[in-house]
């Protein structure tokens, strides 16, 4: 049975329900004291009566047993007016004898955090931490350092040498240098007591592990040879992996996507499993996908600043592309691509399908004794696309329709008030993207002060790429793979003009609808693994998806793009917050089922990502 939560001042206890009785154990400094002097308020979540919360003075509760010490306490209480009932039937465990409908659903369930399993995660062995950078040896690397728009490297103050002469072309190495540095270059170096140095990069990454890698396929340019190159962020170099023209192979690999016909080059994003699994185990695959979304967001924004239209392409032949990049499928895998079309050479709108489904698979049967990595490797393998793309009959692909409410999870909480529309205070962030990326860091502390509603509106509008007139440019390339496939909720603690509570956020109407009223900062802090920044922020954005319905329609591949899309939004929110001198931070660690219950959603709902937004302390 899923745990209940008991709040005792700032301490928490994990409780279990048996009939109408509650049994629990927690840790803190609860002394042997009379019942009358216990806290005045108890807050319980009833798993068997969805939506119910028991609140009231302790005197209204019956306590057959209570004992405690300075280190732990045990509690057994009976709900008032009820008799004890026999314990419920044991739940069926998720194992190989009871397969879930898909690899995605099984993986999501098995990688959930809960209060009863969080202690199982091992301590970190820093001697086995994977290297932060790939080491490609080459006699002819292309240094992009001379083309940086500085006189000195920002974090070392080393002077930048002058660039060598370049042929007169519409764009060149200077544009590639800006694109790659501000998207994923090293922007700071920090010393650490446990390891030699930590290199901080332009894109955020869970735990500073940076599992994403960048490859660049280029053709028909006079300033560098045709081929596939790897971007080495530490040196800010491009190193050739393959020399020669691979354009036709890439066209076939990406199933002849129209954007590749006009593209000047193709950026490929991959993920290295071990970098995240070293710290996060099986759940590390979620972090890899979120980090890939952060990076795609930076690449897209910087592409526009350097004069390119970026077309996201997550539909490709996995085995084919991994082979081209010498990756295989065990340690590093390709995740997505962006076709870069130089806007001065682009005259007509280019059709783009950013997402292609994977074929349906039979019910997933996991390995009997899986080791770390077996489940996410299975999921990635079973979400692959082959040479013949699978198109669901009579179903629109993501991006074909702007909004399809039938695939979204629906909260059981009814609206309490009319929707509140975001203000039209849209801010143009495009002129400061590179500056903001250079100084970008996730906020670690918030002041708790109210966030102006106009600022929240501008941050959400930029995060979700909302046009103020609801009429986006039809010729602009898509920003997301399928933004309309997940639901968004906002937990408001302190925002000017909004009542504290839980809101449903509808990007398609730019509106917030109150579902539950009350200050829920402490509850949000608890289900976010007790992180104080969640309690002190002005609000918390939560994204959730009906995974079983989406996988039935689009296959396991939807798991990748759901997380990449929420990562894209998270990074855009981060940059908008910096521009307005506010703070933001993404959170990938949380108690999944507690959030589903809090939102009024089934426990099968996939909680994708959390992002806090708020006021930062004044220096």
Looking at the predicted structure, is the pLDDT value of residue 383 above 90?
yes
**pLDDT for residue 89 is more than 70:** no
Q: Determine which of 10-19, 236-245, 397-406, 608-617 has the lowest per-residue pLDDT on average.
A: 10-19
Residue (of 186, 357, 371) closest to 282 by Cα position: 371
When the pLDDT of each residue in the chain is averaged and rounded to a whole number, the result is 82
CA nearest to 265, candidates 137, 145, 166, 173: 173
Residue 255 and residue 317 in contact, taking contact as beta carbons nearer than 8 Å: yes
Locus of tokens 């083309």? 147
Query: How far is Cα 512 from Cα 518, in angstroms, rounded to an integer?
Result: 15
Q: Any idea what DSSP says for residue 439?
A: H
Q: Where are the alpha helices (DSSP H) in 142-229?
A: 173-184
Check whether 472 has a pLDDT greater than 90: no
Q: Would the pLDDT of 99 be above 50?
A: no
DSSP assigned state of 452: P
Decide: 333 and 327 in contact? Cβ < 8 Å. Answer: yes
Question: What is the DSSP annotation of 13-61?
Answer: EEEEEETTEEEEEEES---S--GGGS-S-EEEE-TTSTT-EEEE-GGGS
pLDDT in tens, 181-210: 999 999 988 876 666 788 999 999 999 999
Q: HEC string of 296-361? A: HHHHHHHHHHCCEEEEEECCCEHHHHHHHCCCCCCCEEEEEEEEEEEHHHCCCCCCCCCCCCCCCC
Residue with tokens 């979204």: 408
Stretch 479-502: mean pLDDT, rounded? 96
Higher-pLDDT residue of 56, 166: 166
Predicted confidence band at 424 (pLDDT cuts at 50, 70, 90)? Answer: confident
CATH tag for 393-614 (out of 3.30.1360.10, 3.30.2130.10, 3.40.109.10, 3.50.50.60): 3.40.109.10
Count of Cβ atoms closer than 10 Å to residue 413 Cβ: 17
Q: Which residues pair with 115 in a beta bridge?
A: none
Overall average pLDDT of the 545-559 stretch? 94
d(CA 120, CA 109): 16
Whether pLDDT at 28 is above 60: no
Three-state DSSP class for residue 247: helix
Contact of 231 with 133, CB cutoff 8 Å: no
Residue 298 has pLDDT above 70, yes or no: yes
CB atoms within 10 A of CB 169: 11
**What residues contact residue 161 under an 8 Å CB cut-off, 6+ apart?**
145, 146
Which among 307, 610, 542, 574 has a CA at the least distance from the CA of 429?
574
Q: Among 113-127, 159-173, 597-611, whose mean pLDDT is lowest? A: 113-127
C-beta of residue 170 within 8 angstroms of C-beta of residue 160: no
Q: Count Cβ atoms below 10 Å from residue 435 Cβ, excluding itself.
A: 12
Highest mean pLDDT among 16-20, 75-79, 423-427, 479-483: 479-483
Confidence of residue 521 (pLDDT cuts 50, 70, 90): very high
Q: What is the pLDDT of residue 87?
A: 38
255-272: pLDDT as tens digits: 999 999 999 999 999 999
pLDDT score recorded for residue 393: 53
Lowest-confidence region among 155-159, 312-316, 568-572: 155-159
In this prediction, residue 114 carries a pLDDT of 92
A 10 A CB-CB count for 350 gives 19
Q: Specify whether the CB–CB gap between 401 and 484 falls below 8 A.
A: yes
CA-to-CA distance for 112 and 101, rounded, in angstroms?
Answer: 17
Q: What is the pLDDT of residue 125?
A: 85
Provide the pLDDT for residue 66: 37
Structure tokens at 216: 């660049």
Separate counts of helices (H) and strands (E) for the chain: 15, 23
pLDDT tier, 158 (very low <50, low <70, confident <90, very high otherwise) = confident
Winning range, highest mean pLDDT, from 1-10, 402-411, 488-497, 610-619: 488-497
Give percent of the chain with pLDDT exceeding 70.
Answer: 79
Give 569-591 pLDDT, tens digit per residue. Answer: 999 999 999 999 999 999 999 99
Average pLDDT over residues 416-433: 87
Q: Which of the two residues, 511 and 156, has the higher pLDDT score? A: 511
Instruction: Tell me what pLDDT residue 201 has.
Output: 95
pLDDT at residue 52, as a whole number: 34
Which among 424, 156, 429, 170 has a CA at the least distance from the CA of 298? 429
Which residue is associated with the tokens 């009976």? 78
Q: What is the pLDDT of residue 196?
A: 72
Residue 156's pLDDT is 73
pLDDT surpasses 90 at 423: yes
**Residue 139 confidence class, pLDDT cut points 50, 70, 90:** confident
Please report where in the chains the tokens 């790429």 appear, as a residue. 465
Instruction: Determine the 3-state secondary structure of 578 from DSSP.
Output: helix
**pLDDT at residue 84 is higher than 90:** no
Stretch among 48-57, 511-520, 540-549 having the lowest mean pLDDT: 48-57
Average pLDDT over residues 312-336: 94
Average of per-residue pLDDT across 59-67? 37
* Burial call 20-49: b when 16+ CB within 10 Å, e when fewer: ebbebebebebeeeeeeebeeebebbebee
Residues in a beta bridge with 506: 511
Reported as a single tens digit per residue, the pLDDT across 113-132 is: 998 888 766 678 888 899 99
Torsion-angle region of 70 (φ positive above 0: left; ψ -120 to 50: alpha; else: beta)? alpha
Superfamily of domain 126-164+171-352: NADH Oxidase (3.40.109.10)
* Cα angle, residue 223 at apex, residues 221 and 224 outer, rounded to 5°: 75
Backbone angles phi, psi at 287, to 5 degrees: -65, -35
Q: Which residues contact 33 (CB under 8 A, 6 or more apart)?
A: none
Other CB atoms within a 10 A radius of the CB of residue 65 amount to 9
Is the model more confident about 56 or about 427?
427
Q: What is the DSSP letter of 218?
A: E
Residue 385: the pLDDT is: 92
**Distance of alpha carbon 138 from the chain centroid:** 34
State yes or no: pLDDT of 397 exceeds 80.
no
- Which residues on adjacent β-strands are paired with residue 12? 7
- Closest listed residue to residue 278, CA positions, set 130, 133, 135: 130
């Amino acid at each position: 049975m899923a745990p209940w939560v008991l709040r005792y001042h700032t301490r928490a206890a994990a409780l279990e329900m048996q009939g109408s009785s509650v049994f629990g154990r927690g840790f803190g400094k609860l002394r042997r004291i009379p019942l009358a002097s216990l806290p005045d308020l108890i807050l319980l979540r009833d798993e068997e009566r969805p939506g119910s919360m028991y609140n009231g003075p302790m005197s209204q509760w019956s306590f057959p047993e209570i004992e405690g010490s300075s280190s732990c306490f045990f509690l057994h209480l009976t709900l008032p007016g009820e008799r004890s009932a026999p314990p419920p039937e044991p739940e069926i465990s998720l194992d190989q004898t009871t397969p879930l409908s898909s690899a995605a659903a099984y993986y999501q369930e098995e990688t959930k955090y809960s209060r009863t399993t969080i202690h199982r995660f091992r301590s970190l062995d820093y001697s086995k931490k994977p290297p932060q950078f790939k080491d490609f040896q080459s006699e002819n690397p292309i240094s992009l350092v001379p083309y940086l728009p500085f006189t000195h490297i920002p974090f070392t103050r080393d002077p930048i040498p002058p660039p060598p002469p370049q042929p007169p072309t519409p764009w060149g190495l200077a544009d590639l240098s800006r694109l790659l540095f501000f998207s994923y270059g090293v922007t700071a170096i920090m010393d650490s007591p446990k390891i030699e140095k930590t290199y901080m990069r332009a894109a955020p990454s869970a735990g500073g592990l940076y599992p994403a890698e960048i490859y660049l396929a280029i053709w028909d340019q006079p300033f560098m040879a045709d081929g596939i190159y790897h971007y080495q962020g530490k040196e800010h170099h491009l190193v050739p992996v393959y020399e020669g023209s691979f354009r036709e192979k890439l066209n076939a690999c990406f199933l002849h996507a129209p954007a590749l016909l006009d593209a000047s080059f193709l950026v490929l994003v991959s993920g290295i499993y071990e970098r995240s699994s070293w710290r996060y185990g099986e759940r590390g695959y979620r972090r890899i996908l979120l980090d890939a979304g952060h990076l795609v967001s930076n690449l897209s924004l910087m592409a526009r600043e350097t004069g390119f239209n970026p077309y996201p392409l997550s539909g490709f032949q996995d085995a084919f592309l991994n082979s081209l990049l010498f990756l295989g499928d065990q340690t590093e895998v390709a995740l997505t691509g962006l076709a870069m079309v130089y806007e001065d050479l682009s005259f007509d709108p280019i059709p783009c399908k950013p997402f292609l489904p994977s074929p349906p698979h039979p019910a997933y049967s996991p390995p009997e004794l899986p080791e770390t990595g077996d489940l996410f490797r299975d999921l990635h393998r079973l979400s692959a696309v082959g040479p013949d793309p699978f198109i669901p009959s009579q179903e629109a692909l993501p991006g074909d329709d702007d909004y399809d409410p039938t695939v979204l999870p629906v909260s059981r909480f009814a609206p309490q008030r009319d929707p509140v529309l975001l203000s039209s205070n849209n801010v143009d962030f495009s002129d400061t993207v590179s500056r903001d990326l250079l100084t970008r860091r996730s906020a670690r502390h918030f002041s708790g002060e109210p966030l102006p509603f106009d600022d929240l509106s501008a941050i959400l509008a930029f995060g979700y790429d909302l046009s103020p007139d609801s009429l986006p440019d039809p010729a602009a390339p898509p920003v997301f793979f399928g933004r309309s496939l997940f639901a968004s909720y906002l937990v408001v603690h302190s925002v000017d003009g909004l009542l504290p509570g839980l809101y449903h956020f509808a990007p398609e109407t730019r509106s917030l609808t109150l579902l539950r009223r009350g200050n829920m900062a402490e509850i949000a802090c608890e289900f976010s693994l007790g992180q104080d920044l969640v309690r002190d922020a002005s609000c918390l954005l939560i994204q959730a998806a009906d995974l079983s319905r989406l996988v039935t329609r689009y296959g396991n591949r939807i798991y990748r793009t759901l997380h990449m899309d929420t990562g894209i939004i998270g990074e855009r929110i981060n940059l908008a917050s910096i521009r307005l001198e506010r703070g933001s931070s993404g959170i990938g660690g949380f108690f999944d089922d507690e959030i589903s219950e809090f939102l009024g959603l089934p426990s099968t709902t996939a909680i994708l990502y959390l992002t806090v937004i708020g006021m930062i302390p004044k220096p």
